[in-house]
Amino acid sequence: MERRNFLKKSIFGGISYLILPSCLNFSKDAGFELSLDVVTKLFDGEKCWSHPRAGIVPGFGKNGAPRVVMTMNSLDLAGSDVFRGMFGLETHDLGNTWSEPVELETLKPRFEIIDGVERPVAVSDFWPGWHQSSEKLLGTGHTVVYTPEWKVTNPRSRHTSYSIYNAETGNWGDWKKLQMPADEKFYNSGAGCAQRFDLEDGTILLPISFRPPGKNSNVTVCRCSFDGEGLNYLVHGSELNIDNDTRGLHEPSLTRFKGEFFMTIRNDEKGFVAHSKDGLHFGSYVPWTFDDGSDLGNYNTQQHWVTHSESLFLVYTRRGANNDHVFRHRAPLFMAQVDPEKLCVIRETEQILVPERGARLGNFGVTDVSKNETWVTVSEWMQPHGVEKYGSDGSVFVARIHWNSPNKNFRS
C-alpha cells in the first residue's frame, strides 16, 4: 500500500501535503516540523479502527531502518467498547509504504468460564514497545470481559495482557496475563493505554489502574521483570486515588525527563500530573493547567508524553477549540511543551498534530521511531452516529514529528 498523504485540501483547500510550521525554539529546547499521513482507513457503518499504536524492531526494515509494527482493534459501532478483533500492519521503509491490515489470530478474543458463565474476553488498549535489554517487541494492554451478548458490565475481572512479537516470523505470540498479587484490589486491574518506561537494567516501570471493590479506580506503577519470554510483577509503588463522585483515576502514562519521572493521569473531570524521583513513589498530583494558571481543558480522556532529550511535551485533547460538537471534546489532537518544574503546559507552544473532523481522537499512541523522528498514531473513532458529516471517514493517522536536533534519549 502506497503511503496516502493526508490532503490538506480536504479540510483547508488547495494544498496537497500537510507540513505544519516548525515549533518555536524556546532557548535550547527542541524544535521540530510536523507532517501527517493517512496509512489506512475503515468506516463501513458497522466497524472502524481504534487504538492504533506502533512499536519498532530495529534493523528489520529496509537498508537498516527499523520495521514499524502497528496494532489496532476493530470497533463494533453498534455497541460500547466492543473490540472483536486485533489487527496488524507494518512498514519496512519508515512509512513510505504499509502492508494491508490483517487479523492477528494470536491476539483474538478468547472464551473463558467466569462465575460459571462462558464469556468472551478481548485484548484491547494495546501498546507495543521495543524492550532493548531483551531485544524483543513487547506489547501490553488489558483485557475486557463481556457478557455472552458482548456487553460491558460491572463488576468484572480485568488483567494486564501482554504479547511478544517474533521478528523472524512476523507474528505475535499468544497473549498472556500478568499475574498480580493475590489481593482483591487487583481483581480489576490493567495497563490499558499505558505508556511504560523501560529502565537500563531491563526492568519495566508499567503504570496500571486498579479498582478496589466498592471504591474509585486508583493508579500505581508496577516494576516488572521481562526476560524476553515472560513479564513478571516484582513490586508496585504509591497508590494514587481520588475521593469524589468521579470514577477515579485511569490510564496513567509514564516518562523520564532529565532524570526525573512524570506521570499523566485521566480523570472524568480533568487530567492530572504527578512527579517522582524513582518512577515508583509519587507525592500529590495536580491538575493540568496552562502556564497562565488557567485549566488545560482536558477531561475524561487520556494524555501521553512525547519526550525529547531537550524538551518534554504533552499530547492531549481539550475544550475551547471550537469543538463542542465532538464527543468529550476529543479532537483536535494537540501537542505542547511542558514546564517540568511548574508542571504546566506552555500555551504559546501548542500545536495541532491531527485536525478535527467531527470524530474523536482521544485514544492514541506515541512511538520513538529514530533519534530524528517520533510518531503519534491515532484513528478517527466513528461514534456517535453522524460524526462523518464533519468530514471524518475512519482514517488512521500517523503524525510525524521531525526533530531539528537528534533525540539523545533514543535507545534501540
In the block, residue with C-alpha cell 498523504: 5
d(CA 302, CA 264): 8
Q: Quick one: three-class SS letters along 197-242? A: EECCCCCEEEEEEECCCCCCEEEEEEEEEECCCCEEEEEECCCECC
Q: Which residue has the higher pLDDT, 8 or 305?
A: 305
Contacts of 110 (CB under 8 A, 6+ apart): 120, 121
Q: What is the mean pLDDT of residues 94-119?
A: 96
Q: Is 40 exposed, middle or buried (0-12, 13-18, 19+ CB in 10 A)?
A: buried
Within a 13 Å sphere around the CA of 252, how many CA atoms are in the beta-carbon half?
34
| Parallel/antiparallel/unpaired status of strands 171-172 and 231-236 | unpaired
Q: Residue 191: pLDDT band by 50, 70, 90 thresholds? A: very high
Res. 5: pLDDT tops 70: no
Question: pLDDT at position 95, please?
Answer: 97
Return mean pLDDT, the chain.
Answer: 93
Q: Residue 31: pLDDT band by 50, 70, 90 thresholds? A: very high
Q: What is the mean pLDDT of residues 105-130?
A: 96
pTM of the model: 0.94
Share of the chain above pLDDT 90, in %: 91
- The Cβ of residue 264 has, within 10 Å, a number of other Cβ atoms equal to 26
Distance separating the N- and C-terminal Cα atoms of the chain: 27
Question: Are 118 and 87 contacting, i.e. CB atoms less than 8 angstroms apart?
Answer: no
Res. 313: pLDDT tops 70: yes
Q: What is the mean pLDDT of residues 359-373?
A: 98
DSSP letters, 127-152, are EEEEETTTTEEEEEEEEEEB-TTS-B
Question: pLDDT at position 153, please?
Answer: 87
Q: What is the mean pLDDT of residues 150-170?
A: 94
d(CA 312, CA 305): 7
Give me the amino acid identity at 104: L
Start-end of H helices in 211-353:
none
d(CA 223, CA 13): 49
Res. 16: pLDDT tops 90: no
* 278 φ/ψ sector (left φ>0, alpha ψ -120 to 50, else beta): alpha
Q: Is the peptide bond before 212 cis (omega within 30 degrees of 0)?
A: no
Res. 194: pLDDT tops 50: yes
Res. 152: pLDDT tops 70: yes
d(CA 184, CA 194): 22
Q: What is the DSSP code (8-state) at residue 43?
A: B
CATH of domain 4-12+29-403: 2.120.10.10
Nearest of 342, 257, 262, 250 to residue 298 by alpha carbon: 250
Question: pLDDT at position 1, please?
Answer: 52
Q: Is 412 exposed, middle or buried (0-12, 13-18, 19+ CB in 10 A)?
A: middle
Res. 101: pLDDT tops 50: yes
Res. 277: pLDDT tops 90: yes
Res. 20: pLDDT tops 60: no
Pull the grid cell for residue 312.
Answer: 518534554
In the block, residue with C-alpha cell 507495543: 128
Q: What is the mean pLDDT of residues 213-242?
A: 97
